C-alpha cells in the first residue's frame, strides 16, 4: 500500500499520466467525430482532438525537450488555428442552416438545394 | 522589521497532510478533463456537450499549470472557455442543432457503435501503452526558463515567420467567416 501511495503522490512529476490522458482525449474525440449526428457535435469532438494534440506537445515539451519555450509557442499556434477553425466552421454551419433548415449530417446529402 | 521574527522556512514543520494537496489537485484536474470529455461526447443535448467541452478545457488549463506553463493555462481559459465555447453557444442558439433521436432500429446499429468503440479503444490502448512503456529519451535538463519573456522574445525572433503567417490565417478566417455567414442572408 505504501509504495502505491508514493507512486500516486509522484504522479504529476511523471510524463506517463499526461501522455495517457492525451491518448484518451484523442480516442474520445475520434469516437465523437464518428458517432455524432450534427455538425456542431462533430465540431466539439474536433476541439477535443486539438486539446489532445496540445496536451501531448506540452507533456513532451516539459519532460523531454531541452528548450521549454518551443512547445509553448507551438501550442499557442495550435490555439490560434483552433480559433480560426471554429470561426470558419461555425459560419459554414450557420450558412448550411439557412440553406437547408437543418444541420443534421444525415440530411446534408445533396450539394445544392 | 517584522520579517526578522519569522522562522526560517526549513524549521517550520509542514502542516499535516500538506504533501497531499498538490497530488490531489493534479488528480482533480485529470478527473475534470476526463469527465468533461465524456460529457462532451456522450451527452444527447448539444448545450450540455458544450458545457462538457468547457469543463474539459478547465481541466486541461490546470494540467498546463502542472506542466510549468501558467501562461498557457491562462490562454487556454481565455481562448477555449472564453471564446470558443461562447461562439459555439451562439451557433447553437442560431441553428438549434438538437441531436436527432436515433432512427428506426436497424440490425447493425449496435454493430456500428461496437466497431467504433473497438477501433478508438485500440487507438487509445496502443498510444497509452506507448506513453507508459515506450523507450523515451532521458529527462531533459532545461536550458532556458520557459518564461513569458522567453516566449515573447522567441516569437519575435526565431518564430517570427510563423507568427506573421498565423496572423494572416486569422485575418483570412475572419474575412471568410463574415463572407460565408453574410451571403446566406438573402436566401433566408
Q: How far apart are CA A37 and CA B97, in angstroms?
A: 10
Interface test with A, best of B97, B130, B147 (most A CBs within 10 A): B97
Q: What is the DSSP string of A58-107?
A: HHHHHHH-S-HHHHHHHHHHHHHHHHHHHHHHHHHHHHHHHHHS--BTTT
**B72 shares its domain with B154:** no
* Domain termination site, one of B62, B80, B99: B99
- Which structural domain range is residue B148 located in? 144-188
CA-wise closest residue to B37 among A94, A99, A39, A31: A31
For residue B5, give how far its alpha carbon lies from the nearest alpha carbon of chain A (Å).
33
The answer to whether residue B115 sits within a structural domain is no
The answer to whether residue B173 sits within a structural domain is yes
Region class of A110: left (phi > 0), else alpha (psi between -120 and 50), else beta: beta
pLDDT single digits (tens) A52-102: 999 999 999 888 888 888 889 999 999 999 999 999 999 988 888 887 777
pLDDT at position B26 = 93
pLDDT at position B188 = 45
pLDDT at position A110 = 72
Q: What are the chain B neighbours of A17 within 8 Å (beta carbons)?
A: 30
pLDDT at position A63 = 86
**B81 shares its domain with B159:** no
Residues lower than pLDDT 50 in chain B: 1-2, 187-188
Tell me how many domains chain B contains.
2
* Domain termination site, one of B81, B99, B117: B99
The answer to whether residue B123 sits within a structural domain is no
The answer to whether residue B120 sits within a structural domain is no
**B95 shares its domain with B148:** no
pLDDT at position B35 = 96
Tell me, what CATH number does B67's domain have? 1.20.120.1200
* Domain termination site, one of B67, B82, B99: B99
**B28 shares its domain with B87:** yes
**B159 shares its domain with B90:** no
Cβ distance of B41 and A31 shorter than 8 Å:
yes
For residue B104 the three cell numbers come to 428506426
The answer to whether residue B171 sits within a structural domain is yes
pLDDT at A35 over 90: no
Cβ distance of A68 and B53 shorter than 8 Å:
no
pLDDT at position B1 = 45
Burial pattern B27-59, b for ≥16 Cβ within 10 A else e, equals eebbebbbebbbbbbebeebeebbbbbbbbbbb
B 90-129 → A contacts, CB under 8 A: 90-92, 94-95, 97-100, 103, 113, 116-117, 119-121, 123-124, 127-128
Phi, psi of B81 (to 5 degrees): -70, -40
Q: What are the chain A neighbours of B19 within 8 Å (beta carbons)?
A: 9
Amino acid at each position: 500500500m505504501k509504495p502505491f501511495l508514493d507512486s500516486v503522490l509522484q504522479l504529476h512529476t511523471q510524463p506517463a499520466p499526461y501522455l495517457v490522458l492525451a491518448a484518451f482525449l484523442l480516442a474520445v474525440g475520434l469516437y465523437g467525430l464518428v458517432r455524432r449526428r450534427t455538425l456542431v457535435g462533430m465540431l466539439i469532438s474536433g476541439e477535443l482532438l486539438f486539446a489532445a494534440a496540445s496536451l501531448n506537445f506540452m507533456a513532451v515539451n516539459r519532460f523531454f525537450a531541452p528548450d521549454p519555450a518551443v512547445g509553448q509557442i507551438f501550442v499557442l499556434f495550435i490555439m490560434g488555428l483552433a480559433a480560426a477553425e471554429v470561426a470558419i466552421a461555425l459560419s459554414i454551419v450557420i450558412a448550411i442552416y439557412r440553406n437547408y433548415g437543418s444541420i443534421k449530417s444525415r440530411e446534408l446529402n445533396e450539394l445544392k438545394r | 522589521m517584522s520579517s526578522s521574527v519569522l522562522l526560517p522556512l526549513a524549521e517550520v514543520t509542514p502542516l499535516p497532510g500538506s504533501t497531499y494537496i498538490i497530488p490531489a489537485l493534479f488528480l482533480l484536474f485529470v478527473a475534470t478533463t476526463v469527465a468533461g470529455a465524456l460529457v462532451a461526447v456522450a451527452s444527447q443535448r448539444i448545450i450540455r456537450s458544450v458545457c462538457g467541452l468547457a469543463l474539459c478545457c478547465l481541466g486541461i488549463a490546470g494540467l498546463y499549470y502542472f506542466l510549468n506553463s501558467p501562461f498557457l493555462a491562462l490562454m487556454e481559459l481565455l481562448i477555449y472557455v472564453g471564446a470558443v465555447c461562447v461562439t459555439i453557444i451562439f451557433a447553437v442558439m442560431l441553428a438549434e442543432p438538437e441531436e436527432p433521436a436515433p432512427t428506426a432500429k436497424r440490425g447493425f446499429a449496435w454493430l456500428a457503435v461496437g466497431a467504433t468503440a473497438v477501433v478508438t479503444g485500440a487507438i487509445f490502448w496502443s498510444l497509452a501503452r506507448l506513453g507508459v512503456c515506450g523507450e523515451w529519451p532521458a529527462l531533459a535538463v532545461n536550458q532556458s526558463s520557459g518564461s513569458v519573456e522567453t516566449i515573447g522574445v522567441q516569437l519575435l525572433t526565431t518564430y517570427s515567420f510563423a507568427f506573421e503567417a498565423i496572423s494572416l490565417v486569422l485575418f483570412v478566417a475572419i474575412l471568410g467567416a463574415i463572407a460565408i455567414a453574410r451571403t446566406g442572408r438573402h436566401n433566408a
